Amino acid sequence: MEVLVQWFSTHLSQFISPEGAVFIISMIPILELRGGLLAASLLKIPAVKAIPICIAGNIIPIPFILLFIRQIFKWLKKTKLFRGLIIKLENRAMGKSDQIKRYEFLGLLLFVGIPLPGTGAWTGSLIASLLEVDIKKSSIAIFCGLVMATVIMYVVSYGIVGNVVH
């Protein structure tokens, strides 16, 4: 992930402001808020400025995923080109859904909040949508998970990585 963050940070910041690059990185699946905060740290953006940018960037796609992803996947599965990819994405997401099925709100919060590979707001939203978890409950759980991930990644990005890189 660090390699992707550095690549995006370097290449995006040539064309847009460092803050804009961090915002875009935070919107990208896989990188999300975690990648955004790492990039902000590498680009020497103060944490007080970076945190709201990363949260906003990461949260913008969530309502669209929660509301529309099942219909989009259903439509894409009808096409020969995307059928295999969509089935693979659904299976991968549902393979990580056990804790969310069992604990719903708390499971979703922890899934999004503990920054591990393959977890985060995008995957959490996808799973919540596929499991048809109540949108209000899933939105609150995902937002709380983002806050939790923000705290953890702040310590990692600005504490550990910040002290090593700077």
Say whether 123 sits in a helix, a strand or coil.
Answer: helix
Cα 47 from Cα 28, distance rounded (Å)? 20
Q: Tell me the average pLDDT of the chain.
A: 89
Q: For 62-97, write each residue's pLDDT tens digit.
A: 999 999 999 999 999 999 999 999 999 898 888 878
Residue 43 tokens read as 């680009």
> Taking each helix axis from N to C terminus, what angle separates 32-42 and 121-130, rounded to the nearest 10 degrees?
170
The pLDDT-based confidence of 166 (bands split at 50, 70, 90) is very low
The reported pTM is 0.84
* Tokens matching residue 17: 């402001």
